[in-house]
Amino acid sequence: MKKAWGTLRKKANVDCRIHDLRQSVATKLAETGTLESTMLALLGHMSRAMLERYSHIRLAAKRVAVEALTTRPNEQDSRPTATNSTTVTESELVQ
């Protein structure tokens, strides 16, 4: 697997590890509200603790969640949600 990944990376001119891709998938699934049980099944994690280690919610998704707390019910329809907030810059990412 390691050799195949290295060959593919060189051909595609990509500089990341498989681990990085797994973390990205976990984070994107978490941001879209995917059920924890579904994420565990897709990612092959054995525990919630491991899932939390891999899925890092981005700052923009956190901001939308906090803003939802201060939004009046009649304003919610026009507010962005974590699932449609796709224009996130690199500087907005959280470790």
Amino acid found at 48: R
Structural domain including 72 reads 58-88
Q: 64 and 51 share a domain?
A: no
Q: Which residue has the tokens 């699934």?
A: 29
Q: Into how many domains does the chain fold?
A: 2
Q: Is the pTM of this model over 0.75?
A: no
Give 25 or 78, the one with higher predicted confidence: 25
Query: For residue 93, is it within any domain?
Result: no
- Mean pLDDT for the stretch of residues 59-69: 82
Query: For residue 30, is it within any domain?
Result: yes
User: Which pLDDT does position 80 carry in this prediction?
Assistant: 53
The answer to whether 82 and 32 are in contact (CB under 8 A) is yes
For the chain, give the mean pLDDT: 76
User: Model confidence at 77, in pLDDT bands (50, 70, 90)?
Assistant: low
- Mean pLDDT for the stretch of residues 11-16: 90
DSSP state of 70: H
